Amino acid sequence: MTKITTQTAPYRVDHVGSFLRPDYLIAAREQYAAGEISQEQLTKVEDQAIRELVVKQQELGIENITDGEFRRAYWHLDFFWGLNGVEHVQAEQGYHFHDETTKADSAILSGKISGENHPFVKHYVFLRHEVGEKGVARLTIPAPAQLYFELIRDEEHVANLAQFYPTFEAVVEDIRDAYLTVLNDLYDEGLRAIQVDDCTWGTLVDDNFLSAWGRGEKTKEEVRADLADKFLTLNNAFYEAVPENVTVTSHVCRGNFHSTWASSGGYGPIAKELLGEEKVDGYYLEYDTDRAGDFSPLKELTPGKKVVLGLLTSKSGELERKEDVIARIREAAEIVPLEDLCLSPQCGFASTEEGNILTEEQQWAKLKLIQEIVAEVWGE
């Protein structure tokens, strides 16, 4: 497999980052939550699970290697809880997905936000050591806009945020500075590529979400425009300050919890802001179902940006037909040059510790199929 940039991401054969937790890790986390084992004992189990996962990725020939997010309960909240001034709380209710509702874990402020001594730095150092020279150690974090979204998720959160940040500009500045503090610490440890996961854009394409958010006071178009401007401002404040030799990619999602989804709609309504104005080097875009729409919004893509087509679902173990995936790649290549395209599952296999409903064998079979398709389409 060949790198398609002079930096480290994305790769032609790629994945979104999270993997199914092995049973013994799930059991250890449950024991820790019940007070039956210590943090030190849990960490040893996590270390072992990550070592085994790294070897599996290397054996498969994957170059963009993650720790599977094995030390996290959530793809986003654990990062927020690691920031100073952010507290782990229970919201009034969890997020509602199609047919299921998540646990009610949330983040709220206990002070001003800052990023010193974030635990993810040590997590990255461990991963980098395990990967060695056989791949690139890769870290995934939630977007700045995702933190803001969590801090305004309901009236209680909005009131809490206002206690510490009377203006939007003030919270943008502190979120940017906190993220840069974490990134600078990671940079000192060798990180040169970061994947930023972002469900905020996925909510903005869903008219049902916009109608509920507006609560009758604004039209859905007004709500979309206002939030899109805020999300772009939050993200670009960070992205524009990232060192030039650090590759930044964004994974855009419509929800991925226990094989369910949260929002639906094509990229068209936010393509200009997301694909044209967001200051990233590439995107991991969900395209595994009709809920994501067609490829026409890719016309807004800034020339030179990379697109990882998420054409294989991580929500089911059923393997896609190779011919169907290749046909869709060819279709996308009519808009984006083939050399700027890559292939991956539409999301991680376990965005939360519950994981999606498929087996580990099916998980790896998906990645092997991606390799076969890439070899046929790109000759790599």
State the helix-helix crossing angle for 168-188 and 220-239, rounded to 10 degrees. 40
Total domain count, the chain: 1
For 30, the token pair is 């449950």
| Distinct helix (H) and strand (E) counts, the chain | 13, 10
CATH code: domain of residue 115 = 3.20.20.210
For 202, the token pair is 């996925």
Instruction: Find all residues with CB under 8 Å of 102, minimum gap 6, and list them.
Output: 94, 95, 257, 352
Instruction: Find all residues with CB under 8 Å of 309, minimum gap 6, and list them.
Output: 285, 287, 328, 329, 332, 341, 342, 343, 344
What stretches of 173-213 adopt beta strand conformation (E)? 193-198
Kindly report the CA angle at 366 between 365 and 370, in degrees rounded to 5? Answer: 115
For 234, the token pair is 């939050």
5 is a domain residue: no
12 is a domain residue: no
- Domain span at 40: 23-378
* DSSP per-residue string spanning 238-260: HHTTS-TTSEEEEEE-S--BTTB
For 142, the token pair is 């939630």
225 is a domain residue: yes
- Whole-structure pTM value: 0.93
270 is a domain residue: yes
4 is a domain residue: no
Instruction: Per residue of the chain (380 residues), give pLDDT as tens.
Output: 333 333 467 999 999 999 999 999 999 999 999 999 999 999 999 999 999 999 999 999 999 999 999 999 998 999 999 999 999 998 776 565 556 566 768 999 999 999 999 999 999 999 999 999 999 999 999 999 999 999 998 889 999 999 999 999 999 999 999 999 999 999 999 999 999 999 999 889 888 777 766 656 788 888 899 999 999 999 999 999 999 999 999 999 876 554 454 566 789 999 999 999 999 999 999 998 777 789 999 999 999 999 999 999 998 899 999 999 999 999 999 999 999 999 999 999 998 888 778 999 999 999 999 999 999 999 98
108 is a domain residue: yes
**CB distance 143 to 250 below 8 Å:** yes
The Cα–Cα gap between 41 and 47 comes to 10
**CB distance 199 to 262 below 8 Å:** yes
- What's the Rg (C-alpha) of the chain? 20
